[in-house]
Amino acid sequence: MKPRENLVRLKQFQVNEKRRRMAQLDSMIAEFDRMAAELDAQITSEETKAGITDLNHFAYPTFAKAARLRRDNLRTSQAELIEQRKSAEAELTEAEAELAKAEALENRDGRGRPDAAASRAMTG
């Protein structure tokens, strides 16, 4: 295997890894959103049962307070994941550009595999 082929394979691996990371972050963000929505429903239910919606009321349900805290923590974590996703998206774009350069170098040198474009299409 030629050094440029190794470089292309490495770049393809990096692009695939970045795409997996993006998918994982998307999944986690969606899961946190679902969990926060469930907590919202539980909070509303508890407030309805107690008939108290004022957080500062002495009889405000303890479960609703705890659920609010969990929901707020989830929203904070979700915002952090969104920031991580933005950075991962930039890294993916950079990795895709590096892969394109490596493939162009391989093809330019005349050592390119005829199926390089096909293998790139299969990876993404």
| pLDDT tens sequence across 60-98 | 999 999 999 999 999 999 999 999 999 999 999 999 999
CA distances from 123 to 14, 22, 55, 103, 109 (A): 11, 14, 51, 14, 23
Return the DSSP state at 57: S
CA dihedral 44, 46, 47, 51 (to 10 degrees): 140
Residue the block writes with tokens 């929505």: 37
Residue 109, token pair as written in the block:
């040198």
Determine the pLDDT at residue 110.
Answer: 67
Lowest mean pLDDT among 10-19, 24-33, 90-99, 106-115: 106-115
pTM for the predicted model, two decimal places: 0.76
